[in-house]
Structure 1
């Protein structure tokens, strides 16, 4: 196997309960008890089947639609560039890697600027069957592309996505989790951002019984930029968990994280844990992370934990924020005082809460689909939208 990248060697030296030792060896990732800091929010009984060593049962069909000039293929275990970006940080990621004999491989050639997105569609038809999936995305120097990962249907899914953004490249990755309500999904998506490269990641989670996703970024040189955006909507009984780790291990790098969620229904539960590590070498960096949650009904719970670990004071700026609350009474009063129906006012507040993130995707058809999905979720809480009632 290709030599483990410097990020793994660096993380091993960090004395922190937030960073378990990365390793491909399953023995280094015992079955969690729930007392560990990185597992304390996760409903382990509900994902017990994901924690078992189970071979891939072909539960997912994977199709890739790529423009001309993009290389699409497969990589065996140990075949580079597989394993050169992502080293599993927990048991789920280690099981995904060991249980996937072949990885899907997508390479955008140097200097190519794709006018159309690359679509990777993953669809399941059996909620009791395991799928172990590894996808490797490479944007070669000075290329520009968008990749959309679309998850639909039912399955028990362990998924790793390795993302290599090479010098001067600009890559956007959109990961849409639109699962049926019986799906279990554990995933880790890790990007290496090279010198003067730009990486944008948009995470969207709506469905699933339990969804637990890690989104990680580290740098391979100065000048790298990373923007991580996300939105999620949890209904009764759903558990949606997002964990971010941005490792500023190079100077003159930039990151911005903005995740927003809404919850409705009894036992709807969302978790957001964001961690930014600024190493001693990472002078002149700038970073900010924020998480906002909107609780729409009684019985829902949102946990939000932002973290900053700073090893140098020679930085441009670093900060974080977290808010969780109900509808903004002032906004609702402003709208209703101007004759807007109270339910319509609530809908407008929620759509305004999400629309900034949705428009960052930059794909009109996908944006329209997400807006329609939010409207569908809101129909359970505040009724059908006025323009639908009136047949517009």
Structure 2
């Protein structure tokens, strides 16, 4: 849907409010004014931290040149020839598949004059992962970005976007995986606690191509990373993984969308999160759409959350929309609860102290995602981060009956 075809997502008080019923109906526009200012009533904002995200709703000129609020350390990309000259609003491939779905992404599109363009050359295999480090210079500096990641036909590689420091940061990520390419994209949110980060990831996967998309969020006051993946080509495949650990006062959110459009596509979504401390909050909304032409689809999505202390809250909402009956399989699941009493009893019965038993349960729960990364350096770093989070939350609440 183009900007001219879009109807406003935000209605005035004089108009009847009709909520969007399915993820596929969400309007798009390149004009921030089409969306209005979110109130929290909108389907895509109703579980978000509107108050802290509010500075990102302001359509204003942000820093440019040396004053930009994010330090982009791209030495690895440059040395390996993976960085393409910046692309303006009307320069392909920017905008080939990306369509802003909310006011933040529309502002980021408008205010980012030149996109950062990363390209894996056709037919080349990148043996080692490449890491781009994005370091915030201060939470009082509003920055907007549009990043294009393009895996050319037959290319293979892993790209890591590592976010740290303090920032007020709106980010669009446009991911294009062309025919026969295999891309792993890992976005790590390792921000300081005063950061507010909202990011929209939109990906398309072509014929015979594969995308592993991972969102890892440990830091930030608010980290709202919403990824969508369109399996467009014949035999296109995609895995969407997520890992989060929310501490006191943190809000970590992902609204995930997987769209099976092509024939014989395979998709899997698995997000896991742990929460500890008063006011710790996680939000996961997972939508899977199997289109009317997506025959022989195989799809599954699951979200699991482990609540470690009182005062933490996890919202988990899976949705599955099927428009054809000719599929190989489809399903979804969601679970939120405390420690598994049987697991703790098993470990304690073998002489393991309760505190250590709890630590082992949490690590075992989250490491399923960590081990899917496939990059030993990052896996080790995340394992250490999990240990550090657990040390911060020493004195975990006793195991109780599971509850959402």
Segments of structure 1 that go 5 or more residues without pairing to the other structure are: 9-14, 385-392
User: Is 2:98 aligned against 1:96?
Assistant: no
Alignment partners' CA distance in 2, 1:220 and 1:282: 9
Matching of residue 55 in structure 1 with residue 65 in structure 2: no
| Partner deviation per Cα, 1:116-175 (whole Å, 9 max, x = no partner) | 112111101211111101110110011100000000000100000111100000000000
Match of 2:161 among 149, 157, 163: 149
Distance in 2, matches of 1:28 and 1:250, equals: 31
Question: How do residues 29-68 of structure 1 correspond to structure 2 at under 5 angstroms?
Answer: 29-57=35-63, 58-64=68-74, 65-66=76-77, 68=80
- For the residues of structure 2 that align with 1:251 and 1:16, how far apart are their CA atoms? 25
Match of 1:111 in 2: 123
Give the Cα separation in 2 of the matches to 1:371 and 1:92: 32
Confirm whether residue 16 of structure 1 aligns to residue 35 of structure 2.
no
- Say what the alpha-carbon RMSD is for the aligned residues: 1.7
Alignment equivalent of 2:294, drawn from 269, 276, 282: 282
**Contact in 2 for aligned 1:217/1:246 (Cα 8 Å):** yes
**In 2, distance between residues paired with 1:49 and 1:70?**
33
Q: Tell me how far 1:178 sits from its aligned partner.
A: 0.3
Residue correspondence of structure 1 range 242-281 to structure 2 within 5 A: 242-281=254-293
Number of the residue aligned with 1:225? 237
TM-score (normalised: structure 1): 0.92
2:247 corresponds to which residue? 235
Given that 2:2 and 2:29 are in contact with CA atoms closer than 8 Å, whether structure 1 keeps it comes out as no
State how far apart, in whole Å, the 2-side matches of 1:55 and 1:232 are: 32
Mark the runs of 5 or more structure 2 residues left unpaired by the alignment: 7-19, 397-404
Q: Which residue of 1 aligns with 2:371?
A: 359
Rounded to whole Å, the distance in 1 between the matches of 2:33 and 2:2 is 17
Helix, strand or coil at the partner of 2:372: coil
Structure 1 residue 191 corresponds to structure 2 residue 203 = yes
Contact 1:285–1:315 (Cα < 8 Å) also in 2:
yes
How far apart are 1:383 and its partner, in Å? 6.4
SS in 1 for 2:316: strand
1:339 aligns with 2:351: yes
Contact 2:284 2:316 in 1 (8 A): yes
Partner of residue 350, structure 1: 362
Q: 1:380 offset after TM fit, Å?
A: 2.1
- Deviation at residue 27 of structure 1 after TM alignment: 2.3
CA shift for structure 1 position 311: 0.8
Is it true that 1:164 corresponds to 2:176 in the alignment?
A: yes
Distance across 2 between alignment mates of 1:317 and 1:156:
41
Aligned to 1:12: none
**Which string of whole-angstrom CA distances, capped at 9 and with x for unpartnered residues, describes residues 270-304 of structure 1?**
00000001111111101000000000000000000
Would the aligned equivalents of 1:346 and 1:382 in 2 still touch at CA under 8 Å? Answer: no
Which whole-Å CA distance do the structure 2 matches of 1:41 and 1:254 have between them?
29
In 1, the alpha carbon distance for the partners of 2:93 and 2:160 equals: 20
Q: Give the structure-2-normalised TM-score.
A: 0.90
Matches within 5 A, 1:301-312: 301-312=313-324
Q: Deviations over 1:344-384 (max 9, x none)?
A: 11111011001111011111111111111110110122369
Q: Are the aligned partners of 2:2 and 2:28 in contact in 1 as well (CA < 8 Å)? A: no
Q: Distance in 2 between matches of 1:170 and 1:350?
A: 31
2:98, 2:202 within 8 Å by CA — same for their partners in 1? yes
- Between the aligned partners of 1:243 and 1:229, the Cα distance in structure 2 is 12
